[in-house]
Amino acid sequence: MSEITVKATLEQMGDVMAFVDAALEEMGCSMRAQMQIDVAMDELFSNIAHYAYPAGGGEATVAIAFDEGTRQAVITLTDRGIPFNPLECGDPDITAAAGERKAGGLGIFLVRKTMDALEYRREGDRNILTVRKGI
């Protein structure tokens, strides 16, 4: 498993994406799976950067490993921000007209639809979100 810890800011998105993409390339990830993982990481890291630390100044750790048994990339995002379980968010009404939709929730919805599994837990003062995707 390899990991990177960065400031939880949008300015760090490039470093996070480069780290994840390099690890996926080493794993022999398909381009389709990599693009789906990239979209998921963009959404999930952006959420941490925007909402985890209302006063600013926090960090996030992104760890990635390959599960040989399931042939999945396993990516874990950890922060010490406010407690937030994205799996408790309801699905947005995608049948409503764009102008009538409630703002928010579409990104997490897309992550749920494209990843094989999402798991959230709170340990002490840490949010830990694990994403699994077959590569």
With tokens 């209302």, the residue in question is 54
**Mean pLDDT over the full length of the chain:** 90
Q: In which band, very low, low, confident or very high, does the pLDDT at 100 lie, cut at 50, 70 and 90?
A: low
Domain residue limits, the chain: 2-134
- Which pTM does this prediction carry? 0.88
CATH of domain 2-134: 3.30.565.10
C-alpha 38/C-alpha 21 separation (Å) is: 8
For 85, phi then psi, to 5°, come to -105, 105
What is the residue type of 118? L
pLDDT at residue number 16: 98
Question: Is residue 123 within 8 Å of residue 105, measured between CB atoms?
Answer: no
C-alpha 117/C-alpha 98 separation (Å) is: 28
C-alpha 110/C-alpha 94 separation (Å) is: 11
**Neighbour order of strands in the sheet with 126-134:** 2-7, 59-67, 72-79, 126-134, 117-123
- For the stretch 15-72, pLDDT in tens is 999 999 999 999 999 999 999 999 999 999 999 999 999 988 899 999 999 999 999 9
96, pLDDT greater than 80? no
pLDDT at residue number 34: 97
